[in-house]
């Protein structure tokens, strides 16, 4: 019995063989759908091609980070994810059978979204499909499999196969979101190099009705799974993600055998807990990326561009931030408000972010899978010391959980022209804060779309063409009342402070006083206008 019924989408009849479209997305997974929805929300028509006729097979990327939730909130499905997902803040780490370390990810109150919610990827994808349909701008073509891509000077030509026919399409811009085995990447013969990890892991999603807290539990070398690590994490619908490290020599076929999986689960949970297996997968992984994510008219997003280990929830969340980063830029170029060179900043911003994710997930993997006896001695030493001494706890690495990328060295930032003691330097994603609008509770991030100027103080600053968000210490008509003072403290704002935010809610520039000429210059810089 399954807790989820997969939708079956119909393959649309072909009407436009040989046509040319401004934007084509290849891959209807979470990243492709997110990119398509973001573009459609900005008014751009998108053709999306997917080789399947349904959503993610299996729960896959279950941990949705706060930043991703904020991005999905901007796209209109944040509350739906929050309501269905399992909110969690606590992580526990065990060595052998002893709790050595417990962490709390809840940074502080006063945010609309928690650090993480867990939700099966198929829900996210289904709701993205529905949201795309509501825009009326996304032409999703299920069972339209891309078999080749050819980059030209001002377009990309795709060859496509449906169950009935073959055809070609031309795209002004192509977004390759077709995953780790990207056909687009292979067609363009781009090397995808990195590190292979000689280890295998078993995922077992089980349905279990049990009253356990929603927390992440990670075991190093527990007695129920000698020698390996294990993970337990709650999802929606009483589904639990269990993950067992198997070692490189494990036989993937044998390990998928339901009886064998059930025996592992019983060893973990004890004989009394009743459960059903919902999904089983044996996987290995690599950490690697393309040298560049932009190749002429083609962009690579998500796993098509970079791959990480699953420890740290950096795959799905990283891909979501790729889409968030590229959509507004492509929209600005399509509208003619920015030069095409703005699109090069996708590489400048998302390659360092991918490297950060690869670094963290590689380090986590090296901790979880020690490569030699010395590494294992250090790993076990850290875990033994962590049970007794605070200093060793930050050394325990069961996955450094996804944090939003700070775009430090991007040409789109305008550096501070005055000293700041805190707040958010250029490149940082905006932080949420509770506010009131005309007496009603509200959140700051809900008001940031398009280029926004956060203006603090009694009198709002205003620039033609830029959406002003007035944050006032007093209730005032049309203003966001910073009744708790959290917006001011989080942004290190004083009366007169102005902060320019990009359409992806990253800080572009900030000032202590209102200087319209400086704001216009920073706005042009953020759009890549020379």
Partner 1 sequence: MKDLDTSPRLDDPDALYEALVDAHRDLDAEASRRLDARLILLLANHIGSVAVVREAIAAARAAAEE
Residues at the site binding partner 1, with contacts judged by CB under 8 A: 373-374, 377-378, 380-382, 384-385, 389, 391-392, 395
In angstroms, give the least distance from the CB of 278 to partner 1: 40
- Measured from the CB atom, is 382 or 486 closer to partner 1? 382
- Measured from the CB atom, is 221 or 382 closer to partner 1? 382
In angstroms, give the least distance from the CB of 270 to partner 1: 30
In angstroms, give the least distance from the CB of 129 to partner 1: 47
In angstroms, give the least distance from the CB of 216 to partner 1: 24
Candidates 41, 36, 6; CA nearest to 322 is 36
In angstroms, give the least distance from the CB of 391 to partner 1: 4
- Measured from the CB atom, is 89 or 362 closer to partner 1? 362
In angstroms, give the least distance from the CB of 395 to partner 1: 7
- Measured from the CB atom, is 90 or 384 closer to partner 1? 384
Sequence-separated (6 or more) residues with CB below 8 Å from residue 169 = 16, 17, 18, 19, 20, 21, 24, 47, 157, 158, 160
Candidates 297, 452, 328; CA nearest to 38 is 328
Neighbour tally for 327: CB within 10 Å: 28
What distances in angstroms separate CA 249 from CA 252, 254, 526, one per listed residue? Answer: 9, 12, 51
- Measured from the CB atom, is 14 or 395 closer to partner 1? 395
On whether the CB atoms of residues 324 and 405 are closer than 8 A, the answer is no
On whether the CB atoms of residues 234 and 214 are closer than 8 A, the answer is yes
In angstroms, give the least distance from the CB of 22 to partner 1: 49
CA angle 82, 353, 54 (to 5 degrees): 50
Residue carrying structure tokens 């901007």: 74
- Measured from the CB atom, is 391 or 517 closer to partner 1? 391
- Measured from the CB atom, is 230 or 382 closer to partner 1? 382
- Measured from the CB atom, is 18 or 227 closer to partner 1? 227
Give how far the C-alpha of residue 329 lies from the chain's centroid of Cα atoms, to the nearest Å: 18
Q: How many residues does the chain have?
A: 530
Q: How far apart are CA 228 and CA 243, in angstroms?
A: 10
- Measured from the CB atom, is 42 or 360 closer to partner 1? 360
Sequence-separated (6 or more) residues with CB below 8 Å from residue 266 = 273
What distances in angstroms separate CA 328 from CA 27, 322, 342, 346, one per listed residue? Answer: 19, 11, 10, 11
What distances in angstroms separate CA 285 from CA 25, 229, 233, 373, one per listed residue? Answer: 25, 16, 20, 22
In angstroms, give the least distance from the CB of 69 to partner 1: 34
- The conformation of residue 189, written as its DSSP 8-state character, comes to T
In angstroms, give the least distance from the CB of 371 to partner 1: 15
């Amino acid at each position: 019995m399954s807790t989820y019924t997969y939708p079956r989408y119909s393959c649309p009849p072909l009407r436009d063989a040989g046509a040319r479209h401004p934007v084509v997305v290849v891959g209807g997974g979470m990243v492709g759908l997110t990119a398509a929805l973001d573009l459609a929300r900005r008014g751009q028509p998108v053709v999306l091609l997917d080789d399947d006729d349904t959503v993610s097979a299996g729960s896959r990327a279950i941990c949705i980070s706060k930043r991703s939730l904020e991005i999905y909130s901007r796209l209109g499905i944040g509350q739906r994810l929050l309501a269905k997902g399992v909110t969690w803040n606590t992580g526990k780490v065990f060595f052998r059978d002893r709790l050595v370390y417990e962490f709390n990810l809840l940074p502080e109150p006063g945010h609309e979204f928690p650090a993480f919610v867990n939700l099966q990827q198929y829900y996210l994808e289904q709701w993205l499909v529905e949201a795309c349909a509501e825009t009326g701008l996304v032409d999703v073509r299920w069972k339209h499999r891309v078999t080749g891509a050819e980059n030209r000077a001002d377009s990309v030509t795709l060859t496509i196969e449906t169950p009935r026919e073959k055809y070609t399409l031309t795209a002004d811009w192509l977004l390759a979101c077709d995953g780790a085995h990207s056909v687009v990447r292979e067609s363009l013969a781009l090397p995808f190099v990195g590190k292979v990890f000689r280890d295998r892991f078993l995922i077992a999603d089980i349905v279990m009705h049990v009253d356990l807290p929603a927390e992440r539990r990670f075991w190093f070398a527990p007695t129920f799974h000698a020698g390996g690590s294990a993970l337990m994490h709650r999802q929606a619908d009483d589904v639990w993600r269990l993950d067992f490290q198997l070692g490189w020599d494990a036989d993937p076929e044998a390990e998928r055998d339901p009886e064998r999986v059930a025996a592992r689960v019983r060893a973990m949970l004890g004989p009394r807990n009743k459960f059903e297996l919902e999904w089983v997968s044996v996987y290995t992984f690599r950490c690697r990326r393309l040298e560049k994510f932009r190749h002429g008219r083609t962009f690579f997003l998500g796993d098509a561009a970079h791959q990480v280990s699953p420890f740290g929830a950096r795959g799905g969340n990283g891909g979501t931030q790729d889409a968030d980063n590229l959509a507004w830029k492509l929209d600005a170029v399509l509208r003619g408000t920015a030069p095409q060179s703005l699109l090069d900043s996708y590489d400048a911003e998302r390659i360092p972010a991918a490297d950060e994710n690869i670094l963290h997930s590689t380090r986590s993997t090296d901790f979880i899978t020690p490569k030699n006896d010395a590494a294992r001695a250090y790993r076990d030493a850290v875990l033994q010391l962590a049970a007794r001494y605070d200093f060793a706890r930050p050394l325990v690495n069961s996955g450094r959980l996804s944090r939003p990328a700070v775009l430090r060295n991007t040409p789109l930032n305008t550096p501070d022209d005055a000293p700041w003691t805190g707040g958010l330097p250029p490149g940082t994603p905006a932080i949420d804060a509770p506010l009131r609008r005309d007496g009603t509770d509200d959140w700051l991030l809900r008001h940031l779309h398009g280029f926004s100027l956060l203006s603090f103080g009694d009198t709002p600053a205003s620039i033609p063409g830029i959406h002003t968000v007035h944050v006032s210490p007093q209730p005032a008509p049309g203003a966001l009342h910073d009744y708790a003072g959290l917006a001011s403290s989080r942004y290190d704002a004083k009366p007169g402070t102005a902060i320019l935010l990009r359409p992806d809610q990253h800080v572009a520039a900030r000032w202590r006083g209102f200087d319209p000429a400086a704001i216009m210059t920073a706005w042009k810089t953020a759009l890549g206008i020379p």
